[in-house]
Amino acid sequence: MSKYQVNQKGYYGPFGGAYIPEMLYPNVEELQKKYLSIIQEDNFQKEFNELLRDYVGRPSPLYYAKRLSKKYNANIFLKREDLNHTGAHKINNTIGQILLAERLGKKRIIAETGAGQHGVATATVCALKGLECVVYMGEIDIRRQAPNVARMKMMGAKVVAAQSGSKTLKDATNEALRDWINNPVDTHYIIGSVVGPHPYPDLVATFQSIISEETKKQLFEKTGNSLPDYVLACVGGGSNAAGMFYHFLDDEEVQLIAVEAAGHGVNSGESAATTALGNEGILHGSRSLLMQTKDGQVIEPYSISAGLDYPGIGPQHAWLFKSGRGKYVSVTDDEAMRAGLQLTQLEGIIPAIESSHALAHLEKMQVDKNTNIVVCLSGRGDKDLDNYMKYFGF
């Protein structure tokens, strides 16, 4: 087993574990005991792969972005997760988890969501399987992501506003955990990122690992080499990055670059750049890096991107950062918005603001014309049109 993957006790180096109240223990223990054997079953794999192909539309293309490549004098490939059904990588995980929930005999699904992409992806698979769905979403996010709220409702999900704390993703996650405590028997919690108590970080990364599995094959077809020089992905909790890095973790010659949201600037007091601002702590059931006061109170993060507006990162990312395997950088709101507009105008692709963060880092890289770079285009920008319009004054 790779030294960058979870160990038997649920840890990545010093990070991970399951720091949960006893009320959640039976649920989490059930998952810990069963998740690996269930997802290895033939009938699980068959149904999972069929749905990814016929319902999600996989494999997602690896697109050689010619004009963008010319602009940066490198070979830039975009892994088009934005072309998935529901518009982002999030569906890879929810398909996997709904099949798991079914096999665990669960009747009711809960989820948290930030930008609404995970909420939509969860509502989608619940509609597909006819299961009850409740999505917790910060009150502020409900306002800034109205189209996604409408999509969830249309698919029959109940969207509940999280009104505590900063009223964003962190608080939506708290509310989902509280729901799970109160409904321990019939409910499965589909966490949307590589966060939460073990086994969630590994479970979600495993379902998202299809991204790098396909990328390797596609890159080989295009370049004769399955290994690029760089792989870039944005990180909030870190699920698209975990999937994008997964099959490259042991290829140490591939540089993994994770791009966090600096908001108004790392030192502005309004940021979500966890590796720059955080230290070791516990949030939502795992030990990881966390933005917090010296008294251990979680600091409210800020980013223009609702999907990156989270004060922690998954424990595997904390380990990749600490071990030096990954390079963790950040870009500001302004840099991300400009990169998003640039991609739109050079390639005719409107990226989600989350993905624009990964694109913005291209500007800062030292490369030459032989450098192969894969950027995970984690989602499409339809949900962000309002934000782009306001920002650029269109």
Partner 1 sequence: MKDSSRLLSIYYTAGYPQLHSTLNIAQKLEQAGVDFLEIGFPYSDPVADGPVIQRSSEKALQNGMTLDVLFKDLKKLREHVSIPVFLMGYFNPVLQYGVENFCKACKEVGVNGAIIPDLPLYEYEELYQKIFEENEIANIFLVTPQTSEERIRKIDELSNSFIYLLSSNATTGKNLNVNDESEKYFKRIKKMDLKNPIIIGFGISNAETFDKATQYAQGAIVGTAFVRMLDESDYENKIDNFIKNIKRGN
CA distances from 297 to 41, 168, 238, 294 (A): 42, 16, 22, 7
Which residue, 87 or 301, is less far from partner 1 as judged by CB? 301
Which residue, 27 or 60, is less far from partner 1 as judged by CB? 27
Residue 294 in the binding site for partner 1 (CB under 8 A)? yes
Least separation in angstroms between CB 281 and partner 1: 5
Residue 284 in the binding site for partner 1 (CB under 8 A)? yes
Residue 282 in the binding site for partner 1 (CB under 8 A)? yes
The DSSP string of 187-235 is EEE---SS-SSTTHHHHHHHHHTHHHHHHHHHHHHHHS-S--SEEEEE-
- Report whether 231 contacts 360 (CB < 8 A): no
Among 40, 297, 366, 370, binds partner 1 (CB under 8 A): 297
Residue 64 in the binding site for partner 1 (CB under 8 A)? no
Give the three-state DSSP class for 380: strand
Amino acid at 388: Y
Query: Could you tell me the two tokens for 43?
Result: 């009938």
Query: Could you tell me the two tokens for 297?
Result: 């109170």
Amino acid at 31: L
Kind plus residue range of the DSSP H or E element containing 174: helix 169-182
Residue 295 in the binding site for partner 1 (CB under 8 A)? yes
Which residue, 59 or 165, is less far from partner 1 as judged by CB? 165
Among 283, 329, 336, 358, binds partner 1 (CB under 8 A): 283
Residue 2 in the binding site for partner 1 (CB under 8 A)? no
Binding part of the chain for partner 1, among 134-142, 268-276, 281-289, 322-330 by CB under 8 A, reads: 281-289
User: 231 - beta bridge partners?
Assistant: 256, 374
Number of residues lying near partner 1 (CB under 8 A): 33
Residue 368 in the binding site for partner 1 (CB under 8 A)? no
Query: Could you tell me the two tokens for 105?
Result: 């005999």
Q: Report d(CA 27, CA 181) in Å as an integer.
A: 9
Least separation in angstroms between CB 8 and partner 1: 12
Residue 174 in the binding site for partner 1 (CB under 8 A)? yes
Residue 266 in the binding site for partner 1 (CB under 8 A)? no
Which residue, 104 or 227, is less far from partner 1 as judged by CB? 104
Which residue, 9 or 390, is less far from partner 1 as judged by CB? 9
Amino acid at 314: G
Least separation in angstroms between CB 162 and partner 1: 11
Give the three-state DSSP class for 65: coil
Contact flags string 10-29 toward partner 1, x per CB under 8 A: -------xxxxxxx-xx---
Which residue, 90 or 170, is less far from partner 1 as judged by CB? 170
153-172 residues near partner 1, rule: CB under 8 A:
164-165, 170
Which residue, 169 or 205, is less far from partner 1 as judged by CB? 169
CA distances from 213 to 58, 90, 91, 221, 324 (A): 12, 16, 16, 13, 23
Q: Report d(CA 274, CA 340) in Å as an integer.
A: 22
Contact flags string 184-213 toward partner 1, x per CB under 8 A: xx----------------------------
Helices within 224-352 (DSSP H only): 239-245, 274-277, 315-323, 333-347
- Report whether 341 contacts 392 (CB < 8 A): yes
Query: Catalytic residues, which ones?
Result: 90, 112, 378
Residue 296 in the binding site for partner 1 (CB under 8 A)? yes
Residue 252 in the binding site for partner 1 (CB under 8 A)? no
Least separation in angstroms between CB 215 and partner 1: 35
Q: Report d(CA 217, CA 214) in Å as an integer.
A: 5
Q: Report d(CA 381, CA 129) in Å as an integer.
A: 27
Binding region for partner 1 (CB under 8 A):
9, 17-23, 25-26, 164-165, 170, 174, 177-178, 181-182, 184-185, 280-285, 290, 292, 294-298
